[in-house]
Amino acid sequence: MHNHKKMLTISIIILALLSSSWLLLFNFSRINQQKQLTFRVGIVHEQQNYTQKQQFSFNYQLAKKLKISQKKTVIITGSASTLKKQFKQHQLQLILGLASKQPTTNKINYLFLPNTLVVNRNHPIKDLTTYHHKLGIANSVLPTNLTILNLKQKKYSSDLKLLNAINKSQIHAGIMSNLEYNYLTKQQPEFLNTTETRTAFPPMTASVTGALVEKKYHSTIKRMFKKMQLDGQLANLSVKYFFQDYTQE
C-alpha cells in the first residue's frame, strides 16, 4: 500500500513537470511565432524641446509607412539608450530617430536638420576659429566639423535657458537647431531685440538623424527610403513637420 502511494505521488510529480514543460514550450513557441509575424520598430521619444517633438511626430508617421511583406508593424517608443538595448537583444528590427554622426553598415541617415549660431547683438561673433569664450549648448550636440576647434562649451538644460542667457549677455553665443530658434522667437518675440543668427565660420554641419536596421532587413529598408525620397513622401513629411525639406544631405 505504501509503495502504491509512493508510485502515485511520483507519477503525479512527473505529470506536473511534463505539463509545466509543455506549457513553457508552448508559450515560447507562441512568442517566437508572434515575433516572426511582426516587424518591431522603435522610435526615440525624448521630448525635451519643440524640435524633438516634431522629430518624434515625423518618425512616427515614417514608421507607419515602412511596411514589410506579411508582417505587422509594431511601434515601440522609448529613450535612445533603452531602444538600443532592445535592438541588441533582437527585440527590435529597426530604430528611428537616432542622432547619427558617421554612417555605418547598419545605419541609414535620412534627416538633416540645420544648426545655427545664435549671438547677442552686442557681441556679433562669426569666426569660431578665433572664439575663446564659452559656447552655449543645450539639447543639440556640437556639430561634428567644429569638434576639431576645441571650443569651450557651457551646457544648458534647455534651449530656452540658453537663449535667455544669450539675451542677458551671460554668454555671447550658442548653437541650437534653426527650427528651435525660430520657434522660440515666435513664442517670445522680444528675443529678436537682443539676439540674432549668424552664418558661422567654419559653416556648421547639420544634426543628422539616422535609422539603425537589423542586418537582414537593411537592404529592404534602404530601398524603401530611396523610393520615398524619389516619390516625394519623405520630402512631404519633412515639410509637414519642419516646414522645409531636410531629407537631402
**Do 25 and 59 belong together in one domain?**
no
Specify the length of the chain in residues.
249
Question: For residue 187, is it within any domain?
Answer: yes
For 157-174, the pLDDT digits (tens) are 999 999 999 999 999 999
pLDDT for 32: 46
**Residue corresponding to grid cell 519623405:** 234
Question: What average pLDDT score do residues 71-86 get?
Answer: 94
Question: For residue 144, is it within any domain?
Answer: yes
**Do 120 and 175 belong together in one domain?**
yes
Q: What is the CATH number of the domain that holds 178?
A: 3.40.190.10
Omega within 30 of 0 (cis) for the link into 114: no
Mean pLDDT computed over every residue of the chain: 86
Contact 221, 213 (CB under 8 A): yes
| Phi/psi of residue 75, nearest 5 degrees | -105, 130
**Do 122 and 12 belong together in one domain?**
no
**Do 176 and 136 belong together in one domain?**
yes
pLDDT for 48: 79
pLDDT for 102: 54
Contact 209, 141 (CB under 8 A): no
Helix (H, G, I), strand (E, B) or coil at 197: strand
In the structure, what pLDDT confidence band is assigned to residue 37 with cuts at 50, 70 and 90? Answer: confident
**Do 179 and 227 belong together in one domain?**
no
**Do 124 and 147 belong together in one domain?**
yes
pTM of the model: 0.81
Question: For residue 204, is it within any domain?
Answer: no
**Do 183 and 237 belong together in one domain?**
no
pLDDT for 18: 61
In the structure, what pLDDT confidence band is assigned to residue 26 with cuts at 50, 70 and 90? Answer: very low
Number of folded domains that form the chain = 3
Full domain range(s) for residue 188: 115-198
For 81-140, the pLDDT digits (tens) are 999 999 999 999 999 999 876 555 578 999 999 999 999 999 888 899 999 899 999 876
Pairing verdict, β 195-198 and 115-120: antiparallel
pLDDT for 100: 73
**CA atoms of 123 and 141, how far apart (whole Å):** 22
Report the range of poorest mean pLDDT among 12-16, 144-148, 193-197: 12-16
